[in-house]
Amino acid sequence: MAFNHAVIWMDHQRARIMLFNKEDSQPVEIESHAEQHIHHKHGAIGSGHAPEDRHFFEAVTQAVTGVEEILVCGPAQAKLAYVKHLEAHQPVLRRHIIGVIDSDHPSEGQLLAEARKWFAAADRMRPGGGIRLA
């Protein structure tokens, strides 16, 4: 089944993706396997921050390839790092992202409901209006 919308909720440990259209949805979950807790010690070189997990970002990208419109959300900086990754490595897919928003930790149902609401509002802003969740 073809899905023309996706919402990606992500933090640095995992991505919860909902692929959906007007009638159906499909959840996808991707885990990061990068080390997340690096502490900066006095006198050490470097920022003490873990580098971005390129393999994680590529797995998320593969899950949403072919989707027309993507909403990216999450509680922290991972969503912004992902968009920056797309700008550098997948500029065509980057153009499919129509919003990046802050979001807490919603359930699967809450995530899908919020995404449907967000896309419906975005669709009304386009010339011709109306909901295009088909």
Whether residue 114 is contained in a domain is answered as: yes
Contact 22, 51 (CB under 8 A): no
In the chain, the number of structural domains is 1
Q: Which long-range contacts (CB under 8 A, 24 or more apart) does 67-70 make?
A: 67/3, 67/4, 67/5, 67/6, 67/19, 67/96, 68/4, 68/5, 68/96, 69/4, 69/5, 69/6, 69/96, 69/98, 69/119, 69/122, 70/5, 70/6, 70/7, 70/8, 70/96, 70/97, 70/98
Q: Which domain holds residue 24?
A: 5-32+51-125
Whether residue 37 is contained in a domain is answered as: no
User: Which CATH number fits the domain that encloses residue 63?
Assistant: 3.30.420.60
**pLDDT of the chain along its 134 residues, tens only?**
689 999 999 999 999 999 999 889 999 999 998 765 445 455 555 555 555 789 999 999 999 999 999 999 999 899 999 999 999 999 999 999 999 999 999 999 999 999 999 988 877 666 655 545 44
